[in-house]
């Protein structure tokens, strides 16, 4: 491209300004990627939720239990294929900061309802036979360097002074779903039932149902809630995706917050770029007039200004997204257990790049049009 040297020479005219503008883009795109990743992490539960699954919790709140006796009644409802139940354990490994979700599961039905969480068959069989066994998600196992056969002490926080519970790591589960949850830690519900104080016994935290047909979800949910209406333990049944969305809402309107921050960042970036390009064009009004005088067309002048703006946007954007690619895995590890997996997807990267390009064009268009419309004679008079 024969105009390359002209565009690049102008770009490097004020190196400090160039570095600062590119830096603004890099920071903004890094923030964009990070916000998009966090938003994706919060929404992922809803995104990957099974359409054929329902969650039943206590109508008051998820921390209130449901009787185990509900299980058989639920199973008898036409259209319910399988039922499993979980209890939240809420322990920590070694230190308070080593938090991750631990669930007491129903081994008999877990895999029928949640088949996407895959445990190798031999490991699963070992787990079934081992009362003190546990299964860890691949991410949690990697986080703490656990290997099959390790003895893992978990200090209980949620269940009074029951102290430290020790488990044998019998298996590690994986999921094929991108961004799927590999942070969980499972152990047998029977072990939980034995270990918790009397007041907790005979209860489960929530039920998860698998349906024959997703189209029956509304009908079955209503049936269940009606079935236990006016009891001591009323239920609230909803689809897994609605449950996941409701879970996210507990943190506030994350989506609105992220969109607002993102919009402010990009509007500011637009002003920064527009201002930089406007100053840059104003500083060399005379030079652009000379170019027009010697035969450079208005379109070429616009092309030069937009070209500079776009290069700044692209370099800054790529730098910011590159930084995000380096930082997101590290942040993901630091926040493991607190947030779902942070995934910087190709879609986020493409969206970031497209946004950078759009801001680059938008920031350069006004100064570019100004330069394009400039009257050569008046501009030369100012030189």
Which residue, 87 or 280, is less far from other proteins as judged by CB?
A: 280
Nearest CA among 54, 60, 59, 57 for reference residue 77: 54
Residue 6 makes contact with other proteins by CB under 8 A: yes
Which residue, 62 or 300, is less far from other proteins as judged by CB?
A: 300
The dihedral formed by the CA atoms of 123, 126, 130 and 136, expressed in degrees to the nearest 10: 0
* Residues in binding contact with other proteins, number by CB under 8 A: 23
Least distance (Å) between residue 314 CB and other proteins: 21
Least distance (Å) between residue 372 CB and other proteins: 11
- Range in contact with other proteins (rule: CB under 8 A) among 4-12, 49-57, 256-264, 272-280: 4-12
Which residue, 88 or 285, is less far from other proteins as judged by CB?
A: 285
Sites for other proteins among residues 289-328 (CB under 8 A): 290-298
Least distance (Å) between residue 316 CB and other proteins: 21
Sites for other proteins among residues 154-193 (CB under 8 A): none
Q: Which residues contact 38 (CB under 8 A, 6 or more apart)?
A: 254, 258, 339, 342
Which residue, 48 or 371, is less far from other proteins as judged by CB?
A: 371
Sites for other proteins among residues 228-287 (CB under 8 A): 286-287
- Range in contact with other proteins (rule: CB under 8 A) among 154-162, 177-185, 288-296, 354-362: 288-296
CA 314 to chain centroid, in Å, comes to 25
| Rg of the chain (C-alpha set) | 29
Least distance (Å) between residue 380 CB and other proteins: 7
Q: E strands of the chain, at which residues?
A: 53-58, 66-67, 80-88, 91-92, 102-105, 117-118, 133-137, 151-156, 164-175, 185-188, 203-204, 206-211, 235-239
Instruction: Give the integer Cα–Cα distance in Å for 301 and 285.
Output: 11
Out of 5, 198, 232, 250, the residue judged to bind other proteins by CB under 8 A: 5
DSSP track, 153-195 = EEEESSSTT--EEEEEEEEEEEE-STT-----EEEEHHHHHHH
Least distance (Å) between residue 34 CB and other proteins: 36
Least distance (Å) between residue 140 CB and other proteins: 56
Which residue, 16 or 383, is less far from other proteins as judged by CB?
A: 383
Least distance (Å) between residue 310 CB and other proteins: 19
Residue 162 CA: distances (Å) to CA of 88, 91, 134, 195 = 15, 11, 18, 7
Query: Taking a C-beta distance cutoff of 8 angstroms, is the pair 103, 186 a contact?
Result: yes
String marking each residue 324-363 x if it binds other proteins according to CB under 8 A: ----------------------------------------
Least distance (Å) between residue 293 CB and other proteins: 5
Which residue, 226 or 375, is less far from other proteins as judged by CB?
A: 375
Q: Which residues contact 53 (CB under 8 A, 6 or more apart)?
A: 113, 208, 209, 210, 211, 239, 240
Burial class, 322, CB count within 10 angstroms (exposed 0-12 / middle 13-18 / buried 19+):
middle
Q: Give the chain's end-to-end CA distance (angstroms, integer).
A: 29
Instruction: Give the integer Cα–Cα distance in Å for 335 and 342.
Output: 9
Which residue, 99 or 296, is less far from other proteins as judged by CB?
A: 296
Residue 17 makes contact with other proteins by CB under 8 A: no
366 membership: H or E segment, kind and range: helix 346-373
Nearest CA among 91, 119, 116 for reference residue 107: 119
Residue 382 makes contact with other proteins by CB under 8 A: no
String marking each residue 137-156 x if it binds other proteins according to CB under 8 A: --------------------
Least distance (Å) between residue 292 CB and other proteins: 7
CA 82 to chain centroid, in Å, comes to 29
Least distance (Å) between residue 278 CB and other proteins: 19
Instruction: Give the integer Cα–Cα distance in Å for 162 and 156.
Output: 7
Residues that bind other proteins (CB under 8 A): 2-3, 5-6, 9-10, 12-13, 286-287, 290-298, 376-377, 380, 383
């Amino acid at each position: 491209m024969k105009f390359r040297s002209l565009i690049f020479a102008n770009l490097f005219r004020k190196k400090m300004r160039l570095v600062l503008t590119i830096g603004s883009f890099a920071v903004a795109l890094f923030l964009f990627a990070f916000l998009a990743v966090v938003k994706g992490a919060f929404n992922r539960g809803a995104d990957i939720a099974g359409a054929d699954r329902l969650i039943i919790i206590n109508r008051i709140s998820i921390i209130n239990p449901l009787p185990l006796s509900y299980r058989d009644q639920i199973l008898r409802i036409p259209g319910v294929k399988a039922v499993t139940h979980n209890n939240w354990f809420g322990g920590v490994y070694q230190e308070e900061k080593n938090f991750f979700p631990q669930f007491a599961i129903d081994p008999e039905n877990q895999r029928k309802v949640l088949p996407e969480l895959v445990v190798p068959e031999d490991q699963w069989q070992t787990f079934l036979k081992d009362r003190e066994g546990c299964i860890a998600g691949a991410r949690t196992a990697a986080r703490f360097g656990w290997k099959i056969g390790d003895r893992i002490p978990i200090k209980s926080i949620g269940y009074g002074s029951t102290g430290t519970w020790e488990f044998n790591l019998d298996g590690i589960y994986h999921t094929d779903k991108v961004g799927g949850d590999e942070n969980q830690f499972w152990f047998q519900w029977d072990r939980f039932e034995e270990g918790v104080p009397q007041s907790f016994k005979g209860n489960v935290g929530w039920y998860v149902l698998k349906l024959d047909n997703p189209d029956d979800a509304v009908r079955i949910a209503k049936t269940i809630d009606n079935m236990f209406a006016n009891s001591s333990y009323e239920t609230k049944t909803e689809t897994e995706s609605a449950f996941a969305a409701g879970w996210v809402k507990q943190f506030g309107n994350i989506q609105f917050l992220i969109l607002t921050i993102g919009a402010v960042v990009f509007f500011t970036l637009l002003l920064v770029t527009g201002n930089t390009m406007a100053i840059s064009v104003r500083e060399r009004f005379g030079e652009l007039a000379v170019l027009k005088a010697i035969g450079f067309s208005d379109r070429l002048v616009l092309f030069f200004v937009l070209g500079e703006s776009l290069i700044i946007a692209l370099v800054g954007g790529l730098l910011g997204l590159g930084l995000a690619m380096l930082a997101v895995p590290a942040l993901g590890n630091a926040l493991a257990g607190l947030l779902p997996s942070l995934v910087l997807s190709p879609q986020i990267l493409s969206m970031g790049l497209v946004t950078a390009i759009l801001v680059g064009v938008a920031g350069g268009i006004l100064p570019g049009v100004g330069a394009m419309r400039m009257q050569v004679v008046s501009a030369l008079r100012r030189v």
